[in-house]
Amino acid sequence: MPRTAPQFLFDFGSPNAYLSHLAIPAIEQRIGVKFEYVPILLGGIFKSTNNKSPAETLAGIKNKREFHQVETERFIKRFKVQPYVMNPFFPVNTLNLMRTAIAAQLEGVFEKYVEAAFHHMWREPKKMDDPEIAAKALTSSGLDAQKLFARAQEPEVKGKLIKNTEEAVARGAFGSPTFFVGNEMFFGKEQLREVEEMVLRSRPSFADDGM
C-alpha cells in the first residue's frame, strides 16, 4: 500500500500557514511523500464554524499571547525556518488571492503562485487585497497576474473554492493551517510532527509485501 499523501488546507492570510509551508519541504524529503495543497477560504470557515482569528481570541487574555509567541519561536527553531514579517496591513482580505490559487492550479502554475503569494504576504509584506499592488507583486515574481486574476472571476473557479471550503468544514476543519492524513485531522503548525509520524507509520513493512 502506498503511504497516504498528507493534505495541507491553507489560506494565505494565516502566518502560521506560511510557517507550515516553509517547514513542509524538509518533511516531504524525510517521508518521501508530497503534501497536497488545498486552497480554502479562512473567512468562510470562520463564518461556518463561528470561529475567530487569533488576533481576536488572544486579545485581553493574560499570558496567552506571550505563550503563542514562545510556541512560534520553538517551531521556528525546531523546523529551521525563517520567522514571518508581520504584515502591517493585517488582516488582509484573501478572497481574490485564494480564488487566484484555484486559477493557478488550472493554469499549471500553482506551486509558483503559492510561493509568490506567501512571499508577498509574509516575507516582503504588501497590501495584497489591493488588486493593483497584488498584480504588481505577482508580476515581479514572474507570473501573468492579469491572466490569473481574470480566470479567478470565472464561475468554475469561484465554485471550486467554495466547494473546498465547505468540504473542509464538513470534515471538521475550523481554521488554518489544517492537515489531513486520510481521515485523521490535525490543526495548527505544531501538529506537523504528528502528521509526519502518522505518514511514516503508514509505510508498508517488508512483511506487508510478503518479503
pLDDT at position 106, please? 97
Report long-range pairs for 190-195 (Cβ below 8 Å, ≥24 apart).
190/71, 190/75, 192/20, 192/23, 192/24, 192/27, 192/79, 195/6, 195/27
pLDDT at position 44, please? 94
Q: How many C-beta neighbours within 10 Å does residue 157 have?
A: 21
pLDDT at position 20, please? 98
Q: Which residues of the chain have pLDDT under 70?
A: 1-3, 54-55, 57-59, 203-211
Reduce the secondary structure of the chain to three states and give it as a string.
CCCCCCEEEECCCCHHHHHHHHHHHHHHHHHCCCCEEEECCHHHHHHHHCCCCHHHHCCCCCCHHHHHHHHHHHHHHHHCCCCCCCCCCCCCCCHHHHHHHHHHHHHCCHHHHHHHHHHHHHCCCCCCCCHHHHHHHHHHCCCCHHHHHHHHCCHHHHHHHHHHHHHHHHHCCCCCCEEEECCEEEECHHHHHHHHHHHHHCCCCCCCCCC
User: Considering only CA atoms, which of 172, 167, 87 is closest in space to residue 126?
Assistant: 87
pLDDT at position 58, please? 62
Query: Tens digit of pLDDT for each residue in 78-103?
Result: 999 999 999 999 999 999 999 999 99
